[in-house]
Amino acid sequence: MSEKTWRIGVAGLGTVGGGLLEFLAEQADFAPVGDRAVITAVSARSRSRARKTDISTLAWFDDPVALAASAEIDVFVELIGGSDGPAKAAVEAALKAGKPVVTANKALIAEHGAELAALAESVGVPLLFEAAVMGGTPAVKMLREAMVGDEVTALAGILNGTCNFILSEMEAKGRGFRDVLTDAQALGYAEADPTMDVGGFDAAHKISILAALAFGCAPNYAAAEVEGIEGVEALDIALAKDLGYRIRLIASTEKTDDGVAVRVHPSLVAFGHPLAETRGATNALFIEGRRIGRIFIQGPGAGAGPTAAAVAADIADVMTAASRPVFQAPAGKLKPFVAVAPTRRVGKAYLRLMVKDQAGVIAAVSETLAECGVSIDSFLQKPVEDAAGVPIVLTTHAVAESVLTDAIDRLERLEVVLERPRLLRIARI
Ligand SMILES: NC(=O)c1ccc[n+]([C@@H]2O[C@H](COP(=O)([O-])OP(=O)(O)OC[C@H]3O[C@@H](n4cnc5c(N)ncnc54)[C@H](OP(=O)(O)O)[C@@H]3O)[C@@H](O)[C@H]2O)c1
């Protein structure tokens, strides 16, 4: 059988695109099925910008859409980023021209995955996005391929390395969020505009994609409940530690009789739990299946090397002509995404109250919680120097979110409570 050379067009030569160029330059014999993959054409914003790999011999396209539709390539790799704009236009152009597409773009897949899947399947070409979630750790393949024999019931994980780095540093050094964020930016762990990461939106894109793969529905990013880590205080990290927990940004999804819930919240995870022990920029994911039980994967979620390896694995799938639907089922057969209302969540919670230093406070708080039907699991009062008021912190047994919100409203109105109580969820998995 004669060897074929697949001509790869790459749009976006930044961290991931640059990594892919380096990977294929170092490993010129990358031929997973005998055929070779060779980058022949590229596009980026600036042609003159210095790149780690020589691109002078490659065809250059100012416009990624023109590259995507070009007859000079067999596979289009989109590594620009962004849910709309040039990335979306180029992916659509490639699919319309009948070209397989590989992308690392979680925002694009989370927000437009269903329509792009329909387009890809209508022309019979793959649309692959392994690098979009957990970088080099193969979560997408795990759900799309390895788990199809089981019924996934829940997922929970750490999907944003920047947030995990910041929370780990806050805990290790006892420092505040803003200080640690500044350091993380200087070290290259956080972007100049960190909103997508610290606001929880990046993790929400990723868990929306995983929910679709796990439950056979279309991704529905708009239905995700998203809370970032900006409001996590060093005081909560210290108090949670005293109770035997670490705070992590947990992205989770579960299928219940009411529908699918997709959530991102800073959450308490007990010491010793693999998610609590996942530190620094590492990513981790629990997959819960009805027959298989629990699977845990952990690894790098970003960076040029790991992400380029995931993109290369997708290119290899294109070359093997592996054909699976883009999500768990063909686009036309994906189940409607029925979102569970946030108020229907039932789970354990952590509440931190700043109260006046006077007698009767604990009785007032306990009575209010009892009246609302919130049952206390543990209670801790700890004097903290320089704090406005005295913090008391408690964890609850499982309680409906609507009941908890009502209790927080009532606690806030107590004369002895100085500010709105701080709520953090306790991770279920
Ligand atoms: N960084 C990671 O570790 C990582 C991990 C997983 C997934 N991802 C995803 O991978 C994608 C790329 O991320 P990245 O970190 O590599 O981004 P990046 O470093 O910011 O690189 C973006 C690239 O896109 C090019 N670009 C921007 N606008 C363009 C346009 N209109 N036309 C053509 N090219 C354009 C830029 O050109 P210039 O170089 O000329 O400015 C640059 O080369 C994103 O979807 C991201 O979410 C990244």
Mean pLDDT in residue range 293-314: 94
pLDDT in tens, 220-233: 999 999 999 999 99
Answer yes or no: is pLDDT of 393 > 80.
Answer: yes
> CB–CB of 197/107 below 8 Å?
no
- pLDDT value for 341: 84
- Using DSSP's 3-state secondary structure scheme, residue 407 falls into helix
- Cα 26 from Cα 212, distance rounded (Å): 35
Residue 9 Cβ contacting ligand 1 at under 6 Å: no
Whole-model pTM above 0.85? yes
Answer yes or no: is pLDDT of 2 > 80.
Answer: no
> CB–CB of 47/62 below 8 Å?
yes
Residue 249 Cβ contacting ligand 1 at under 6 Å: no
pLDDT in tens, 149-173: 999 999 999 999 999 999 999 999 9
- pLDDT value for 322: 82
* For the CA of 108, the nearest atom of ligand 1: 45
Mean pLDDT in residue range 199-224: 97
- pLDDT value for 384: 66
Instruction: Give the distance, in angstroms, between the CA of residue 352 and the centroid of all CA atoms in the same chain.
Output: 27
Residue 79 Cβ contacting ligand 1 at under 6 Å: yes
Name, in order, each residue with C-beta under 8 angstroms of 259's C-beta and a sequence gap of 6 or more. Answer: 337, 338, 339, 340
Between the CA of 173 and the centroid of ligand 1 the distance, in Å, is 32
Mean pLDDT in residue range 275-292: 95
Mean pLDDT in residue range 278-282: 93
- Cα 122 from Cα 317, distance rounded (Å): 19
Q: What is the Cα Rg of the chain in Å?
A: 24
Residue 14 Cβ contacting ligand 1 at under 6 Å: yes
Mutate to test the pocket of ligand 1, among 13, 15, 20, 61 (most ligand atoms within 8 A of CB): 15
Going by pLDDT thresholds of 50, 70 and 90, the confidence category of residue 33 is confident
Between the CA of 128 and the centroid of ligand 1 the distance, in Å, is 17
- Cα 254 from Cα 249, distance rounded (Å): 16
- Using DSSP's 3-state secondary structure scheme, residue 173 falls into helix
Cα angle value 163/16/112 (rounded, 5°)? 75
Phi (first) and psi of residue 139, to 5 degrees: -80, -35
Residue 48 Cβ contacting ligand 1 at under 6 Å: no
Between the CA of 18 and the centroid of ligand 1 the distance, in Å, is 9
Q: Which residues are catalytic?
A: 206
Name, in order, each residue with C-beta under 8 angstroms of 27's C-beta and a sequence gap of 6 or more. Answer: none
The sign of the dihedral angle between the CA atoms of 60, 66, 71, 75 is positive
pLDDT in tens, 77-99: 999 999 999 999 999 999 999 99
Between the CA of 106 and the centroid of ligand 1 the distance, in Å, is 12
Between the CA of 105 and the centroid of ligand 1 the distance, in Å, is 9
- Using DSSP's 3-state secondary structure scheme, residue 284 falls into strand
Q: Which residue has the higher pLDDT, 321 or 229?
A: 229
- Cα 127 from Cα 80, distance rounded (Å): 16
- pLDDT value for 429: 80
Nearest-CA residue for ligand 1 atom 5 is 302
- pLDDT value for 387: 64
- pLDDT value for 323: 83
* For the CA of 304, the nearest atom of ligand 1: 3
Answer yes or no: is pLDDT of 31 > 90.
Answer: no
Going by pLDDT thresholds of 50, 70 and 90, the confidence category of residue 188 is confident
- pLDDT value for 75: 98
Mean pLDDT in residue range 227-240: 96
Q: Which residue has the higher pLDDT, 33 or 367?
A: 367
Report which of 165, 143, 4 is spatially closest to residue 74, judged by C-alpha positions: 4
List the single range of 121-125, 241-245, 358-362 with lowest mean pLDDT: 358-362
- pLDDT value for 32: 81
List the single range of 21-35, 213-227, 378-392 with lowest mean pLDDT: 378-392
Report which of 222, 261, 233, 223 is spatially closest to residue 347, judged by C-alpha positions: 261
Strands 282-289, 293-300: parallel, antiparallel or unpaired by DSSP? antiparallel
Q: What is the mean pLDDT of the chain?
A: 94
Token digits of residue 244: 């035997």
- pLDDT value for 386: 64
Residue 20 Cβ contacting ligand 1 at under 6 Å: no
Which DSSP category does 146 fall into?
I
